[in-house]
Amino acid sequence: MKLTIWTALITAVSAQSYRLTDSYTGNNFFSKFDFFTGDDPNHGFVDYQSQSSAQSRGLISSTSDYVIIAADATNVYPRSARGRPSVRIESINSYTTGLFVADIEHMPGNACGIWPAFWTLGSDPWPQNGEIDIIEEINLNANNQYTLHSGDGACSISGYSGAGRISSGNCQTTNNGNVVNTAGCTIQPPSVNNYGNNFNNNNGGTYVMQWTNSVINFWFFQRGQQPETLTSGSPDVGQLGTPDASFNGCDIGSHFRDNRLIINTNFCGDWGKLTNSINKYLYLTNHFSQLVEMACTHHSVRW
């Protein structure tokens, strides 16, 4: 995985160009992240590791060209355990607007109980400064979806959505601090091979997010189809084509700010454990940890 962050420069004629702000690559990658070790806020069967513990367990590694972020896919953990050892990293720097480019060759594959995510999050309480889900899916779902969560105050998307389809338009998650909508607003993109096994079988690809004060756009490019402008010294968003998803209609600038980048692999959790009848049965009959064992021992659970 390689991440590059570009911030916008607005010229006198209102054209937008970008300059490089941060580069998360190779051996410098993990020095730019904090390792979250607290209890999972989403109640997953997971035990997030410190950097030293993740290193000693072989869950993280890096070279000059790439990094690997994994969960334990070898050992068996009983339901009485805190959970399966995994990694959740959060960038030290926070961002408000920019162009975010992620070159990813592999992500956790499709399996019941798996919940990987690459996302951004503002400060507590959730989600008053916004949450942006760039890559997030669960279980056997084959295609990625893009989702925004905003805090108090009206925020909804409508009208132009790029090439994608709006499946949920209300981004507002809280009202007077009380959670009233956990789904957020979601756009289903048309792109293929953008998640899980299909993504991995195609050697991954490049995710791009353009975040401005008025719109958040997303693109995915399969391996070999990334526009050359993304590797130039000043990428031109105008050369990226129609966005896979375009979030319009909400006052982005007032709802999304000071977000940290997060990469993690969770198991089960509030979303993953109750999304179908089989998962619900296994969870309620105290057999859900067995589902996690099957998911991990038969699949490559790594970024």
Catalogue the active-site residues: 131, 136
CA distance 90 to 1: 15
Task: Please give the Cα distance from 45 to 277 (Å, whole number).
Answer: 19
| Residue labelled with tokens 């490019």 | 221
DSSP class of residue 135 equals: E
Q: CB–CB of 18/4 below 8 Å?
A: no
Per the listing, tokens 């979303």 go with: 271
Rounded to a whole number of angstroms, the CA Rg of the chain reads 19
- Tally of helices (H runs) and strands (E runs) in the chain: 6, 20
CB atoms within 10 A of CB 104: 22
Q: What percent helix, strand, coil does the chain show, rounded to 5? A: 15, 35, 45
Q: Which residues contact 201 (CB under 8 A, 6 or more apart)?
A: 193
Cβ-contact 21, 116 below 8 angstroms: no
- Cβ atoms of residues 272 and 113 within 8 Å: yes
